[in-house]
Copies of this chain bind each other. A is one copy, B any other.
Amino acid sequence: MTMQWRMLMGQRAQQMSSSIIREILKFAQQPDLISLAGGWPAAGLFPVEDLADACREVLSGASEAALQYGVTEGYAPLRRTLAEMARAKGLPVDEGNILVTSGSQQALDLVGRLFIDPDDVVLVERPTYLGALQAWQAYGARFVSVPVDDDGMDVAAAEAVIAKHHPKFVYVMPNFHNPAGVTLSLARRRQLLELVRRYGIALVEDDPYGDLRFEGEDVAPLYALDAASLAAGDPGSVIYMSTFSKTLAPGLRLGWIIAPAEVAQRLAKAKQGADLHTASLCQVLANEYCQRGLLGPHIEEIRATYRERRDALLAALARHMPPGVRWTQPQGGLFLWLSLPEQVDSLKLLEDAIAAKVAFVPGTAFYADDGGRNAMRLTFASTPPALIDEGIRRLALVLKKHMEAVNA
């Protein structure tokens, strides 16, 4: 009898979606294509020399810690380093609140594993980070959403949705949102906390880009705002997550979760069954790098480069885009969000754009429902200013043709 694998696969297998970005990137490998698509940080900015130095030290000194099994919670010195970094942002935590994860994708997965039963509801932004949708779909989550505007999540719209759908948690990316590029205002952060507390639900604060601010003032993390006003015995309502992927190097696959101790412990149990622990070599290396005081200056450096590229993208859009196209003004991060006239379908546009040697991610990739057709995400991360201008010139040409076609 011929083996029928499909018959054996579980319901979860049906719920797994593949990342549309990864599919696009397969077509976007031609060397003369200008990709404003992938969310990859610029490889040219990786601190290769300093990492190589730190690695040499680690494999001569702490080589057992770097090569042996470790505890699920993470390498203790790294957890202390991360706790110290968090305290500097106003989060009143210690290493008992920290779980090191295999990238922040695993942080999302572990939250899903711990909280989501099939058909549980999760409230997300519209648009939202597609990796979160992908992680939680696998656990059978149903998504409800509220829109994002220039001040981030529309918190006023959230209450009715919460009251109606009783989500397990709200997922928010407050700083330099991927894909929208916007930042949640302080007033809305306070309103959102008041709301989740009132309904007794959790808030998942995903902050991969917070350190990449180009201008303006940092806004306090929701975790810090929540903790500042807790009554005795209240563990707080926020799970915070971040990553070294955008500030140091994604190939290390190092993220972390900051949570009330009881939640951190439960998440560690979930992680034990998932992959025992995160690669020791990467943890010890990242800790050595941070302990040498290199991370802060490195972030300063990449911020300057990304700022220049963001400026180039904004200038190119202003120069080339036809009337009727709008875009966000990110104060940091790697992305901005472009809204097209209503009749333009960015998925169809993409085919012609790739033929014209420029790539972007269509907006639909970032929607739990079928929204986002007339929008796209652009990144300025990996492209030098001159090429950004040329890419936007190509994109604007293709777009004008589409707009003429739909108006004809």
A residues within 8 Å of B by Cβ?
Answer: 1-13, 16-19, 22, 38, 40-41, 43, 46, 48, 51-52, 55-56, 59-60, 63-72, 102-103, 105-106, 109, 113-117, 120, 131, 134-135, 137-139, 168-169, 197-198, 200-202, 231, 233-237, 245, 249-253, 260, 262-263, 266, 269-270, 272-282, 285
- Given A13-B266, A135-B274, A281-B282; 8 other pairs, CB 8 A cutoff: A5-B260, A10-B116, A51-B67, A105-B275, A253-B277, A279-B282, A281-B281, A281-B285
A/B interface sample: 12 pairs, CB < 8 A: A1-B200, A3-B197, A5-B202, A5-B235, A12-B114, A13-B266, A16-B272, A48-B63, A52-B60, A69-B250, A275-B275, A281-B282
Could you tell me if B55 and A67 are in contact, using CB atoms closer than 8 angstroms? no
B residues near A117, Cβ cutoff 8 Å = 10-12
Other-chain residue from B12, B43, B272 in contact with A22 (beta carbon distance below 8 A): B272
Could you tell me if A12 and B113 are in contact, using CB atoms closer than 8 angstroms? yes
A313 → chain B closest CB, angstroms: 21
Could you tell me if B273 and A134 are in contact, using CB atoms closer than 8 angstroms? yes
Could you tell me if B105 and A273 are in contact, using CB atoms closer than 8 angstroms? yes
B residues near A114, Cβ cutoff 8 Å = 9-10, 12-13
Could you tell me if B56 and A4 are in contact, using CB atoms closer than 8 angstroms? no
Q: List the number of copies, as a whole number.
A: 2
B residues near A12, Cβ cutoff 8 Å = 113-114, 117, 139, 270
Q: Which residue of B lies closest to A274 (CB)?
A: B109
Could you tell me if B135 and A273 are in contact, using CB atoms closer than 8 angstroms? yes
Other-chain residue from B67, B134, B233, B285 in contact with A43 (beta carbon distance below 8 A): B67
